[in-house]
């Protein structure tokens, strides 16, 4: 990842640039790959990474995004093989290359990011990816209008609640009018279950602001409940939580999963004891998987 070049390396770059300028993109891609493999075999790992980095930029500059993604995957494979750490420098490299891909090239970018995510988890002590890569995944899936996958990765990222809110709002508009408040409540509860209280409160405010632009009725039982819940967890009061839960139990019963999410929020923030039963254990496993799997 060094920027230094030697005469021989410069000649290689000139040859590759010539092929690209002549429109021989596939040939250039193959040459980048072959030369980087040779460098690796000779123990010139830094040179191999630098070559692939140049290739990604060059291909993206010429709008050859599939080739750029292919070379990006090759670079991440080197990271994985050599167990290169996921640190500030390597994460910045991934962020930099992601910026090379426009929205129209999101399909090519997601292939590169999936590989980066797998590497990141493999070299992480807790087997979790960096929130910055999760955010890149979330944003790219949003561009592809794959809202369910986008949400999973937004939940694993930190902050970015404005973009998260816009994604959920666009998703809401594709659903039925009667279930729109459900989208908001479920997403905020999932953030609270991930122990991201600040993000949950911020997302709620932004979503309600977007939601009510097109709504005559500014309140629903579920949204009222969520508003009171965010106040209750700040007070960390078991009594307040149990009272709130009982008052809104019928509204929450629209979906049994909401009841379980709420109960878990009560356990995390207000010291409420969870009931031990098979249905909860199964659902708890599903919720936990949101933060472990792609």
Q: Quick one: 39 exposed, middle or buried, by C-beta within 10 A (0-12, 13-18, 19+)?
A: buried
| pLDDT at residue 137 is higher than 90 | yes
The string over 233-253, giving b where at least 16 C-beta atoms fall within 10 Å of a residue's C-beta and e elsewhere, is: beeebeebbeebbeebeebbe
pLDDT of residue 282: 43
Distances (CA, A) of 190 to 12, 194, 260, 290: 51, 6, 11, 9
| pLDDT at residue 50 is higher than 80 | yes
| pLDDT at residue 289 is higher than 70 | no
pLDDT of residue 294: 58
Give pairs for 88-96: CB < 8 Å, separation 24+.
89/1, 91/130, 91/132, 91/133, 93/1, 93/53, 94/133, 94/136, 95/132, 95/136
pLDDT digits (tens, 9 = 90+) for 5-21: 567 777 888 888 889 98
- What one-character DSSP code corresponds to residue 125? T
> Could you tell me the pTM of the whole model?
0.85
Confidence of residue 208 (pLDDT cuts 50, 70, 90): confident
pLDDT of residue 61: 94
| pLDDT at residue 116 is higher than 80 | yes
pLDDT digits (tens, 9 = 90+) for 160-188: 999 999 999 999 888 777 778 898 999 99
Confidence of residue 279 (pLDDT cuts 50, 70, 90): very low
% of the chain beyond a pLDDT of 70: 89
- Mean confidence (pLDDT) of the chain: 88
Confidence of residue 142 (pLDDT cuts 50, 70, 90): very high
Rounded to 5 degrees, φ, ψ at 207 are -65, -45
| pLDDT at residue 217 is higher than 70 | no
| pLDDT at residue 215 is higher than 70 | no
Query: Between 155 and 17, whose confidence is greater?
Result: 155
pLDDT digits (tens, 9 = 90+) for 87-98: 999 999 999 999
């Amino acid at each position: 990842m060094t920027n230094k070049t030697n005469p021989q390396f410069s000649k290689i770059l000139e040859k590759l640039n010539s092929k690209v300028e002549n429109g021989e993109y596939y040939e250039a891609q193959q040459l980048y790959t072959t030369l980087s493999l040779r460098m690796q075999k000779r123990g010139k790992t830094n040179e191999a990474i630098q070559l692939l980095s140049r290739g990604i930029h060059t291909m993206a500059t010429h709008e050859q995004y599939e080739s750029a993604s292919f070379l990006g995957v090759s670079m991440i494979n080197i990271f994985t093989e050599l167990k290169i750490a996921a640190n500030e420098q390597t994460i910045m490299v991934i962020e930099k290359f992601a910026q090379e891909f426009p929205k129209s090239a999101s399909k090519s970018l997601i292939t590169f990011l999936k590989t980066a995510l797998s590497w990141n988890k493999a070299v992480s002590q807790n087997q979790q990816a960096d929130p910055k890569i999760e955010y890149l995944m979330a944003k790219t899936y949003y561009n592809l209008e794959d809202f369910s996958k986008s949400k999973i990765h937004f939940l694993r990222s930190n902050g970015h609640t404005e973009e998260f809110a816009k994604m959920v709002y666009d998703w809401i508009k594709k659903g039925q009018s009667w279930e729109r408040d459900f989208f908001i409540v479920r997403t905020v509860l999932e953030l609270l279950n991930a122990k991201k209280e600040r993000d949950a409160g911020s997302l709620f405010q932004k979503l309600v602001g977007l939601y009510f632009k097109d709504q005559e009725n500014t309140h629903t039982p579920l949204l009222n409940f969520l508003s009171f819940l965010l106040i209750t967890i700040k007070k960390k009061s078991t009594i307040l939580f149990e009272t709130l839960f009982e008052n809104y139990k019928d509204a929450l019963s629209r979906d049994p999963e909401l009841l379980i999410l709420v109960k878990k929020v009560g356990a995390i923030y207000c010291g409420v004891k969870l009931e031990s039963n098979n249905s909860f254990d199964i659902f708890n496993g599903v919720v936990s998987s949101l933060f472990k799997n792609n």
